[in-house]
Amino acid sequence: MIRTFSLISSFAFAFALAGVATVAPTAAAPASAVWDHPGYDAENSYYNPAESMINAGSIRGLTEKWSTVLRTSDFSCSGPSAPILSDGRIFATDQLGISAYAADAGGLAWRFDWDYPGDNDIPAMAVADGLLIAANGGCNSQSDPDGKLTALDVANGKPRWTLPMDMPIRTVVVDKGIVAISGSSPSDEDAVVAYRVRDGKQLWRKPNFGAGSVSADGVLLIYKTDGFGVHAGEIAAVDIVTGTVRWSRAGDEKAQAASATHFYATEADRDLVALDIATGAVKWSAGGQASELIATDGRRVYRADGREVEALDADTGRRQWVTRLPGEALQPVRAGGLLYAGSTVLKAADGSRAGAAYPGSVIVGGGRVYQVSGSVLRAFAP
Are the beta carbons of 16 and 9 closer than 8 angstroms?
no
- One-letter amino acid of 179: V
**Pairing state of beta strands 47-48 and 333-335?**
parallel
193 assigned to some structural domain: yes
Q: Please, what is the average pLDDT of the chain? A: 90
Give the per-residue pLDDT at 139. 81
- CATH code, domain with 168: 2.40.128.630
223 assigned to some structural domain: yes
pLDDT tens-digit profile of 326-360?
A: 999 999 999 999 999 988 999 999 999 999 889 99
Instruction: Give me the residues of the chain with pLDDT under 50, please.
Output: 1-20, 23-26
Are the beta carbons of 81 and 122 closer than 8 angstroms?
yes
87 assigned to some structural domain: no
308 assigned to some structural domain: no
Tell me how far apart the alpha carbons of residues 116 and 362 are, in angstroms, rounded to a whole number: 28
Give the per-residue pLDDT at 312. 98
**Where in the sequence is the domain holding 125, given as residue range(s)?**
114-251
* Whole-number percent of the chain with pLDDT over 70: 91
Are the beta carbons of 97 and 81 closer than 8 angstroms?
no
Classify residue 119 by its DSSP letter: G
pTM of the model: 0.91
Tell me how far apart the alpha carbons of residues 151 and 335 are, in angstroms, rounded to a whole number: 29
284 assigned to some structural domain: no
13 assigned to some structural domain: no
pLDDT tens-digit profile of 10-61?
A: 333 343 344 445 544 445 566 679 999 999 999 999 999 999 999 999 999 9
129 assigned to some structural domain: yes
State the total domains in the chain: 1
Handedness of CA 311, 288, 181, 281 (dihedral sign): positive
150 assigned to some structural domain: yes
